[in-house]
Amino acid sequence: MPAPEHDSDVLIVGSGASGAAAAWSLSRRGLRVTCLEQGRWVDQSEYAHSRPDYELARQTSFAKDPNVRGWAEDYPINNSGTPIHPLMVNAVGGSTVHWSGHFPRMRPSDFRVKTLDGVADDWPFTYWDLEPFYDLNDSMVGVSGLAGDPGNPPRSPRQTPPLAFDAGCEAYLRGLEKLGWHWWPCDNALISEPFGENRSPCNCCGPCDIGCPIGAMSSAHVTYWPKALAQGVQLITHARVEQITVDRAGRATGALYYDEQGVRQSHSAGVVVMAANGVGTPRLLLNSTSAIFPSGLANNSGIVGAYLMFHPVALVSGVFEEVVNGQRGPIGGLMNCQEFYETDLSRGYVRGFELQLSRNVGPLSVANGGILGHPVPWGSGHHEALRSRYAHTMTTSVMLEDLPERENRVTLDSELTDAHGIPAPRVEYRLGENTQRMLEFGIARARDLFEAAEAVEILVDPLVRESGWHLMGTCRMGDDPESSVINGWGQAHECPNLFVIDGSTFTTSAAVNPTSTIQAIALRCADWLGRNYQEVAA
């Protein structure tokens, strides 16, 4: 048998939410798939949940900002040009290793904002095109929740039931019922009952944001990766990709990367799939310059890195007289209120937001400012103040749709590099006017909610600096090569055997957490690529 032309059929860069899903899907079709991941497997022993000082992990080894966490596998990010700091995890499973697992879907209108509201652009496909892949993804990862939300199209039964209805829910409900607003128990990427292999159902321990030690959280390293590896995918960890290589015709040929020993290696493939997230992917493409792509791979349009979207977030906390024990149960997922989701121009802005009615944190994090950054004062009143907040506070995120703006972007920093000397990303971002108006309106509604719920104190962080959880739009999808980097199948307009499948693909951001959509897109693109591999790789 002749030796294969390439080291792999498909090379995936990044093993996070999207890379894991695509690795599973492509290998199912018998393709030889390799994934290069700069991070490592996070070891069970690293989780802090069984130690009394577990809350310190938020400030140190499991900090969400890579610049603070400083793992050897992290790369630095120049944040000086943005009020919102990008957050991520660089490990097998990517940023789903420690996250909150909120798993809402986008609504049909989110894919058609130009047609419906005259802003930004429509996506190159509709909600209904993506729906089967949302369902497939849910069935792979395991979701807790309840079908039947009138705020969203009907969906398949959730794999496991919603988690709990405790004192915190009662407090929220007091407000919601008085105001007559929409709410529904969140879909969460975690299992409340047995599901999958080597996973235990959530036991409501609380701090999911520093990882889940029992595999209840549906993170990519416990959902897709065991299955993808069983199907023969080669996952190379500690492999930091420096650039994607191209031939003279401008087709992707593979990647150059540094291995665990710091030795530069190359890997060739018929197709390259980028899954390094909304910051990592544009960074790598911009760093992949060649005669045919002098400004970076697939970037003769100048759009790679542009149109960066976060979900700007304000946090509003309500302190209650009664004990609500917000520190018990998964920190993120409780209830969603989508009363203000669709456009209503009388509110003074276009598009909308959701209120994520969430829980809270333990005493140390409360003392240090809680989720909001309002530290409990030191001195004579300290203990009373701490005791009035700890176990008495619930926190709501006002999560907005961020409209794409060309000036908001990821570029390469001219000085900063990672440990291998590869230029680090620089993020430039400012809030648009529409966003600012919506933020004010949203904060006022969250206050209304807590007032109606009879909170005795309301605390506000009007724009959370550490809220760049959702990195979107930097290699946007579209039909027009002048205004987008990839088509609706993730295929680069300028380089037909290069695909992008991560958060960078988003044409617009919607106002919900993106990962169920990121994974559905990854599965849809991988499905198309799997069916058309011979043609694409030829």
Ligand X SMILES: Cc1cc2nc3c(=O)[nH]c(=O)nc-3n(C[C@H](O)[C@H](O)[C@H](O)COP(=O)(O)OP(=O)(O)OC[C@H]3O[C@@H](n4cnc5c(N)ncnc54)[C@H](O)[C@@H]3O)c2cc1C
Three-state secondary-structure class, residue 128? helix
Q: Among ligand SF4, ligand X, another protein, none, what does residue 148 contact (CB within 5–8 Å per kind)?
A: another protein
CB nearer ligand SF4, residue 190 or residue 475: 190
CB nearer another protein, residue 183 or residue 441: 183
Helix axes 515-531, 127-141, angle to 10 degrees: 100
Contact 463, 84 (CB under 8 A): yes
Segment 173-232, which members bind ligand X (CB under 6 A)? 209
User: For the purposes of burial, counting CB atoms within 10 Å of the CB of 193, is it exposed (0-12), middle (13-18) or buried (19 or more)?
Assistant: exposed
Tell me how far, at minimum, the Cβ of 217 lies from ligand SF4, in Å. Answer: 4
Query: What x-and-dash track marks residues 184-213 binding ligand SF4 by CB under 6 A?
Result: ------x-----------xxxxx-x---x-
Tell me how far, at minimum, the Cβ of 518 lies from ligand X, in Å. Answer: 5
Beta-sheet strands, E only, within 375-456:
393-400, 409-417, 423-428
162 contributes a contact to ligand SF4 by CB under 6 A:
no
38 contributes a contact to ligand X by CB under 6 A:
yes
Q: To the nearest 10°, the Cα dihedral for 362, 325, 47, 278?
A: -90
Query: What x-and-dash track marks residues 310-339 binding ligand X by CB under 6 A?
Result: ----------------------x-------
Q: Give residues with Cβ within 8 angstroms of 18, minimum separation 6.
A: 275, 501, 502, 503, 518, 519, 521, 522
15 contributes a contact to ligand X by CB under 6 A:
yes
Contact 438, 161 (CB under 8 A): no
Tell me how far, at minimum, the Cβ of 166 lies from another protein, in Å. Answer: 5
CB nearer another protein, residue 172 or residue 450: 172
Contact 36, 11 (CB under 8 A): yes
Stretch touching ligand X by CB under 6 A, among 224-232, 406-414, 490-498, 508-516: 508-516
CB nearer another protein, residue 15 or residue 365: 365
DSSP string for residues in 302-371: S-TT-S-B---EEEEEEE-SS---TTSS-SS-SEEE-TT-S--GGGSSSS-EEEEEE----HHHHHTTTT
Segment 269-298, which members bind ligand X (CB under 6 A)? 275-277, 280, 284
Residue 248 tokens read as: 């003279």
Q: How many CB atoms lie within 10 A of CB 433?
A: 9
Q: Give the footprint of another protein on this chain (CB under 8 A).
A: 47, 49-56, 59-60, 107-109, 116, 127, 146, 148, 150-153, 161-166, 169, 173, 177, 180, 182-185, 202-207, 213-214, 325, 328-329, 338, 341-342, 362-364, 367-368, 375-376, 378-380, 382-383, 387, 390-391
Three-state secondary-structure class, residue 89? coil
Q: Among ligand X, another protein, ligand SF4, none, what does residue 152 contact (CB within 5–8 Å per kind)?
A: another protein
42 contributes a contact to ligand X by CB under 6 A:
no
The distance of Cα 520 from the centroid of its chain, to the nearest Å, equals 13
The 3-class SS string of 191-252 reads CCCCCCCCCCCCCCCCCHHHCCCCCCECCCCCCHHHHHHHCCCEEECCCEEEEEEECCCCCE
Beta-sheet strands, E only, within 87-207:
184-185
Tell me how far, at minimum, the Cβ of 87 lies from ligand X, in Å. Answer: 4
64 contributes a contact to ligand X by CB under 6 A:
yes
Which amino acid, 441?
F
Q: Among ligand SF4, ligand X, another protein, none, what does residue 81 contact (CB within 5–8 Å per kind)?
A: none
Which residue do the tokens 């794999």 mark?
159
443 contributes a contact to ligand SF4 by CB under 6 A:
no
Q: Among another protein, ligand SF4, ligand X, none, what does residue 16 contact (CB within 5–8 Å per kind)?
A: ligand X
Tell me how far, at minimum, the Cβ of 182 lies from ligand X, in Å. Answer: 20
Q: Among ligand SF4, another protein, ligand X, none, what does residue 298 contact (CB within 5–8 Å per kind)?
A: none
Which amino acid, 390?
Y
402 contributes a contact to ligand X by CB under 6 A:
no
Tell me how far, at minimum, the Cβ of 54 lies from ligand SF4, in Å. Answer: 10
Segment 214-273, which members bind ligand SF4 (CB under 6 A)? 214, 216-217
Q: Give residues with Cβ within 8 angstroms of 356, minimum separation 6.
A: 102, 186, 332, 334, 336, 337, 396, 397, 399
Binding-site ranges for ligand X (CB under 6 A):
13-19, 36-39, 64, 87-91, 94-96, 98-102, 209, 239-241, 275-277, 280, 284, 332, 469-470, 502-503, 513-515, 518
